Structure 1
Amino acid sequence: MIHEFFTNKWILGAVGFIILFAGVCYLWYQHDTAPYRQEAADTAEIVHQWKKNKQGQPKSSTAERTTEEELTDGDTPMPDDTTTSSTRETAAKTIDRTKSIETDAVSADAMDPSKMSRFGLGPYPEIPKEWNLIPNYWETAESIGEELLYRVTIKMHNEGTRSKYGSVGINPTTLLIIAVERGSVLIETEIDENGEERIYRNLAHPDDLSGIYTRRSQIPSHLKIVTPAEIAFDPYEYLGISK
């Protein structure tokens, strides 16, 4: 009987079809959820890099003096991109996420202390299930700036607007969000020893800007040049929460 079972072509065909179907389903799942798993990996890497930069940053530097002067003039220091080299480490870090989902609802057990912000920002918003993040996702935010960046990114994701930006970061000093749209390049400049304006930091999506430029004239003409003061916005206002 066992011999007949393994020699019956219909039974073998059915078993083969089931195995093939299961394999196709698994491959489809891996392909469909890959962007969300990458989003989670990007988040962890950016937070790790931001913390490392903050730990290694000197307490007094020319970069900090420049930042203070710019803030006096109403400007905002721009964040570094994880894909773009930079000569200064005081910038905010970026997250590149592109998918969208429908809800930004607060979880049903939001009043549980473990579901409340450690920095007084209220209940945590629901994390998109597609990201497949670790349960203690919010515990990885060790500063109010990191949590604000997480919240802004989730809301952009839910609204379907995240994909229009090549880079989204937060200034750790002013807590302003710096969102650079695709097709734009954000620059910060200073006057060099020869009295000429020099770009000391530029930020754009890797598809838009592939190099480091020191002069405005070097930036490709199809890119829109913007400054931090032009695009920075208040995350509290955007999220509808109180400071």
Structure 2
Amino acid sequence: MAEPTRTQARAAEIRLRWLTLAAFLAPILVLAAVFGTRFGLWGAGFGLEGLTFKVGRVLAFVGLAAALVAVVIAFKDVRRRGLYAAVALVVAGASVALFLIQGQRFAVQASNDVTTDAAEAPAFSRAVAAMRGGQGAGEGGASVACPGLIAVPRQVAPETAAAALEAAGFTPRGAAAFRADGSKEGFWFGLTYDAAIRIRPGRTDVRVAQREGVKVGDEACRLARAVTDGLRP
């Protein structure tokens, strides 16, 4: 009887290892999506929307199911098998929680090109427009308003505009009379946002636009609000 018991224990341990590995599938895929995007193997749209939020989300729930099965198996010998189940449950639970949180955030319907003046959006400088591939150079109607984003009712100095861009996480690309520009590249998937500040007597307007066109909720609005907050006294 002893030999079958050891065989069964060994088989249970192997199953636990595979179940624990299943809990790591979603995080591993996300890392692969990030590195593939950063190294230019595929675009940010495929890496974030395709691999991460379509395939990765499914794998996260598969991992959670595997973790729950691991917990059931571990109950028969908590001292020897409990660590596998605990690791699997923590990793899978955290993965699902992050997907749910980010999913709600990304589900917000908002534009990737927002401004404080939708009728006459600030134009990007030639240098920034060139980096954007010529898109969104500042045509009227190309940019839209978003909730809580309003013009700053004062004329700021170009140096103040550049400082506001830097405080919001942008790298200033230039500041001159009546304008300033900046860009911000995301850490994970390299999504790039460009900001233009237009300075006029009694009013300063802001525009923020993403280059890639990947839907990430109201991130453009959030960045634009951060810039306008830095422009206020």
TM superposition score normalised by structure 2: 0.29
- State which structure, 1 or 2, has the greater radius of gyration over its C-alpha atoms: 2
TM superposition score normalised by structure 1: 0.28
